[in-house]
A and B are shown apart, each in its own frame.
Chain A
Amino acid sequence: MRTVVSLICGTIFGFGLYISGMIDPQKVLGFLDIWAIADGGWDPSLAFVMGGGLAVAIPIFQFAKSRTEAVCGGEMSLPTNRAITTKLIVGGVLFGTGWGLVGYCPGPALSALAFGHTDTIIFVIAMIVGMGGARLAGLNK
């Protein structure tokens, strides 16, 4: 049952990335280019995706937080780490730099595999290598 739920949630997530246009790196770069505000070329769509996402997710998360067990059984696996560390910020900056270079973050990059473009496949392989390397070095701890 948990696997079926995962498949359905992943599919809905993929629908969202496709419909919102976030599956397109150019759409994401159009948002990250806030220097285009001056000449009217800025695309604020990503902020609306975040807004729509939070509007739906916040009530569900706040309700879910009060539960001690998941509906399909098992514990509520919520992060307990609250430490704001240099590592958190360095990781964020490295990720943001890669995100700004091409316009892919992990979700859209995986979803875009549906198009079968070589560039996307290469990006995903490099991303997995980066993740694997960092884990081998114990940087995920």
Chain B
Amino acid sequence: MENFTPITALIGGGLIGLASGLYLLLNGRIAGISGILGGLLTPTKAGSAVFERLAFVIGLVAGPFILMNATEIEAQSLVTSSLPVIIVAGLLVGLGTTIGSGCTSGHGICGLSRFSLRSLVATLSFMAAGFVTVLVTRHLMGGM
């Protein structure tokens, strides 16, 4: 387990939980990233709050940008998949989170924090599919 980083995982996770909690408490909204982004695609709907959504997305990019340029904290974001796999994966994530009404943040963090059984089922569904996909691509097909 040479890559295991429990301390930064707990601190980072705590910040994600704090951001989600503050967003609900202050703005009354669920910090589900797929929902926030998806809502921007149909901005004509009443109550879609375009500026709030856009500001959240800008913050998501600004946060890492600030840390990588203004601090010593290092991170990487390495994609090793081929172009067709990247495109298929992106389409699946967009399609799946829309059909399933949420992703890791909306169902995983916010839903479980509300003690929502629906979100627990969704979280178990995408976790299970993630485990199986990695089993197939890494161990049965020998890497994609």
Contacts and interface: CB of A to CB of B under 8 A. Distances in A.
Interface of A: 2-27, 29-30, 32-35, 40-46, 48-65, 67, 69-72, 74-79, 81-84, 87-115, 117, 119-120, 122-135, 139-140
Given A111-B61, A126-B86, A98 B93 contact: yes
A41 B38 CA distance: 36
Contacts of B52: 2-3, 6
Grouping DSSP codes into helix (H, G, I), strand (E, B) and loop, the B interface class, with mixed when no group exceeds half, is helix
A57 B38 contact: no
A52 B96 contact: no
A53 B107 CA distance: 13
Contacts of B86: 102, 119, 122-123, 126
A29 B11 CA distance: 20
Contacts of A2: 26-27, 49, 52
B78 interface: yes
A8 to B, nearest CB: 7
Interface of B: 1-6, 8-31, 33-34, 37-38, 41-42, 49, 51-53, 55-68, 73, 75-81, 83, 85-101, 103-105, 107-114, 116-118, 121-135, 137-139, 144
A103 to B, nearest CB: 7
Contact of A46 (B9, B14, B59): B9
Contacts of A88: 100-101, 118, 121-122, 125
A94 to B, nearest CB: 3
Contacts, number: 505
A126 B64 contact: no
Given A43-B4, A133-B95, A139-B99, A18 B16 contact: no
25 contacts: A12-B18, A13-B63, A19-B11, A24-B76, A32-B131, A32-B133, A50-B13, A53-B20, A59-B21, A79-B114, A82-B116, A87-B100, A88-B125, A89-B121, A91-B99, A91-B125, A92-B126, A98-B92, A101-B92, A107-B60, A110-B33, A127-B94, A130-B94, A134-B94, A135-B98
